[in-house]
Amino acid sequence: MFKLLRRCHRIYFLFIISFFSILFFPLYWLASRRSEWYDVLNKLRVYHSKICSMLGGIRFKYKFEVPLSPEQHYIYCANHSSNLDIMILCMLAHGRFHFMGKAELENNLVLGIFFRTIDIPVNRDSKISAFRAFKRAGENLQNGMSLLIFPEGGIQDEYYPPKLMPFKNGPFRLAIEKQVPIVPISIINAWDLIWDDGSRYGSRPGICDIYVHKPIFTDNLALKEDELLKESVFNTINSKL
């Protein structure tokens, strides 16, 4: 019975997301036509996330170790185990932000609008693609945009419940090079509401707990310390999972 309810909720939640994706699509398309309108594009996806999570009975509860400065741009690093994670970071970052994600998302009808404009696609199997992606991300950071990234490189499906997997190096070298603080984020139980896309275990309503750690400042670090920074962020995120 419990499994059936979870599968029914997933069907309902997918319907909500699809329905509002259709409604928002013309606005997304219009706001993506000019880079000056990217702030509007981000606001639209924040509203989209709020509406879908509310109607799906899913509430996000953020706990901040310290307040984040609205004037400062950051590299937000979070663990990744659920499709909810994108909504979670959208609603956390606000303002001028962009994602880095897998290149396959360019083929998605709605997400493709973002990954062909404001967001940055990266082919995990191509060093050239990764180099270009982080070069573009560095330029955006210099222009005051926050970067939202999942340093595991994607959702891992080897374990259920999920375990935090090793991080890629790119975000940490970028943070040191551009002297941008990193905000570690522990998304504690999104997997229990929807693991991955929900296709295996369905989904359910509930409260998703997110712990936002204090920023780690990088202006006093050398590039050769990127491994230490990566380890520090990993341990910080893992401490709350």
What pLDDT is stored for residue 125 in this prediction?
77
Domains and CATH numbers, the chain: 2-238 (3.40.1130)
What pLDDT is stored for residue 164 in this prediction?
95
Per-10-residue mean pLDDT of the chain, 241 residues long, equals 92 96 96 94 96 97 96 96 96 91 86 93 84 91 95 85 92 95 97 94 96 96 93 97 93
SS3 letters for the chain?
CHHHHHHHHHHHHHHHHHHHHHHHHHHHHHHCCCHHHHHHHHHHHHHHHHHHHHHCCEEEEEEECCCCCCCCCCEEEECCCECHHHHHHHHHHCCCEEEEEEHHHHHCCCHHHHHCCCCEEECCCCHHHHHHHHHHHHHHHHCCCEEEECCCCCCCCCCCCCCCCCCCCHHHHHHHHHCCCEEEEEECCHHHHECECCCCCCECCEEEEEEECCCECCCCCCHHHHHHHHHHHHHHHHCCC
What pLDDT is stored for residue 184 in this prediction?
98
What pLDDT is stored for residue 99 in this prediction?
95
What pLDDT is stored for residue 22 in this prediction?
95
What pLDDT is stored for residue 97 in this prediction?
95
What pLDDT is stored for residue 191 in this prediction?
96
